[in-house]
A and B are shown apart, each in its own frame.
Chain A
């Protein structure tokens, strides 16, 4: 239609005194037209299996919650940063999710249908995460999205999935204080990673703490909780430092740490900064025997980038290690290596991404549909033998029960478990169970 009218205009102009610069405007018109034609084409392709529906209807349908596909595949969105600074962490999670989808498809799919991953790049940019999530839900009508890493990316997607009544499986440990009805959190809540780690440290390593973190929401919120906890336990906080994301020179911070000489550094640094911090810490003559560092964002994959010799002997707190001894893990590690090479390592967020796909698939099977509300209902209490042990979805807050494991980095880059909780711990994102966290959780109570 539009193309036609554009041509007609062109001819009309030609009849008049046609100035060449008119063409200039036609160029713009052409660009805009082609933009729209291209978009419509993409839209049509996206809705190919619903030919009788118009665009508007498809979208409204989606908002109402019926994203049921009538074809023989079910589309699921995969939304991680494949470019930009966060790609260093997120690509592996994406690979794990694709592996799970592949395995599910090989075993007959879900509801007899194959899963069709729709991959998008969040580009380490939070508005882009929002845009792509919107695209996945509105254009592609995906049944669920697996994605995100940083809290910021989750916060960006949250209003989009809530608005469109979509689903998001978020695979990374985070600071808590959130429970969206449209998000399943397969990573650890603070009480499944940080709180037990602090307890363990107090019992086993000493009571003077130095808190070091990158300057963003997870470390600041996590440290607020840690401080409350330490105060309640009567432990001492000798220092608290935040460095900008991507900070590379830790000399000054290390000088401050050395002058305070704490028993423990509780490390919530993110990504690249960990590499710089540990390398420079070692160069400054601080080893795990002098001051022990417990990290909550350093897993096997990060250790590869840091160098095992540098971080050897320091501690981590997670729910899963590559060395975790379960039958499911043995299979998972083997499959992961078969898919991505002998050098590939698994880690907690990778595993959380992996079993997230299975949890969703199980919920869909149980619900008998991909319809979001029904899947959510069916998901309550679902269990799965994940590589880290048995995980159960908590119906109250859509987080999962997980076992906590404190580990020590070995010279081969693997982490050996020093301690694990007796059972899978119930997720408590708002730390309501803890007396010392009353101020924190109350300030958020709505």
Chain B
């Protein structure tokens, strides 16, 4: 009955479990450092799924160049807890030399790990909800929304850098020691973080898939392809958009927390304009609108390419990466998975013996 592309793509559970199998045996094959990198990429992949919900496949047209903020908010929440645990409840050094003698009010909740983790999801979601509610209600869309999200990035980054006594300024937060008493940089802890990341990636993936597989997903596609038409079918697209925007922000916050645990630092450079656009590039290059697996591929692929190029050619890697971006965007409008879909389509069309000839609509 349901017959859209993405569902077919997900039908094969065997292959699917194979991917997860590989992710699960990776700790045995990779060195600590590489495993740590893979874990970081998978954290990015989690964010990319959220972005794909918003932009790639569903509720189309909502391109946020501001997801670095939500990633950053989640990351900072986690980092604040880690920092406090590292200092043993004393105030962090950067506050001390900014002339503070007591823990500021907004840091107080972050003494408690569970609360910090919850806030790491809730704060991005709340911020996104307000922004989404206002903009979508006023039917700001397309390019305007995109530029607006960039303006917000500048506001947040400038504020984070400017309030050095609260956020550590440009240096951000780093030098952590323990989480729940486990030494954060120990090999075993890092492997555990990797597993947690894989598990959360799986959970986010299946949750998102479940969400969009049903009627809800069709409504989202409807909004993507004809927002006004949906209004006259009795839907309120702004509510849906706000919901997905909020959800994707929460997912980004989750990804940010996993990032901090594995990388051990968060700074405003990770939440600015450049990383925010990079995040969209992962989704665009992964492609396969609405497959939800495309962004995972994109995030892992782009970051692998970036790391690989920069390690092999530290002086010229930006050329390679730049050329790669241009080539994929120009020649593979649907990204890497699009390449595959196209091929898939062609093969299928050859084999089709159905009476009704299906012409692929131009998307």
Contacts and interface: CB of A to CB of B under 8 A. Distances in A.
A touches B in complex, CB < 8 A: yes
B182 interface: no
A160 B266 CA distance: 14
A364 B230 CA distance: 72
B311 A120 contact: yes
B214 interface: no
Contacts of B36: 134
Contacts of A158: 174-175
B139 to A, nearest CB: 32
Contacts of B26: 36
B232 to A, nearest CB: 35
A152 B158 CA distance: 16
Given A20-B344, A220-B98, A82 B315 contact: yes
B190 to A, nearest CB: 11
A42 B311 CA distance: 10
Interface in A260-297: none
Contacts of B318: 83
Given A159-B185, A215-B161, A444 B18 contact: no
B18 A21 contact: no
Contacts of A130: 174, 263-265
A28 B19 contact: yes
A9 to B, nearest CB: 7
B32 to A, nearest CB: 5
Contacts of B176: 159
Interface stretch (A121-129, A315-323, A337-345, A373-381): A121-129
A436 to B, nearest CB: 14
Main secondary structure of the interface of B (DSSP, over half): helix
Interface residues of A, number: 68
Interface string B282-297: 0000000000010011
Interface string B259-299: 00001111101100000000000000000000001001100
A159 B263 contact: no
Main secondary structure of the interface of A (DSSP, over half): helix
A35 B300 contact: yes
Contact of B15 (A25, A36, A217): A25
A156 B267 contact: yes
Interface string B78-99: 0000000000000001101111
A73 interface: no
B161 to A, nearest CB: 6
B340 interface: yes
B267 A152 contact: yes
A139 B175 contact: no
A35 B38 contact: yes
Interface stretch (B61-69, B140-148, B164-172, B325-333): B164-172
Given A23-B344, A152-B171, A155-B174, A217 B94 contact: yes
B37 A138 contact: no
Contacts of A21: 8-9, 11-12, 344
B22 A32 contact: yes
Nearest to B336: A27
B347 A20 contact: yes
A200 interface: no
Contacts of A82: 314-315
Contacts of B34: 36, 39-40, 43, 139
A134 B311 CA distance: 12
Given A21-B344, A24-B9, A27-B340, A159 B264 contact: yes
A2 interface: yes
Interface string A21-63: 1111111110111011011101100000000000110111000
B272 to A, nearest CB: 9
Contacts of B168: 217
8 contacts: A21-B12, A43-B34, A121-B315, A126-B265, A138-B31, A152-B172, A175-B97, A444-B96
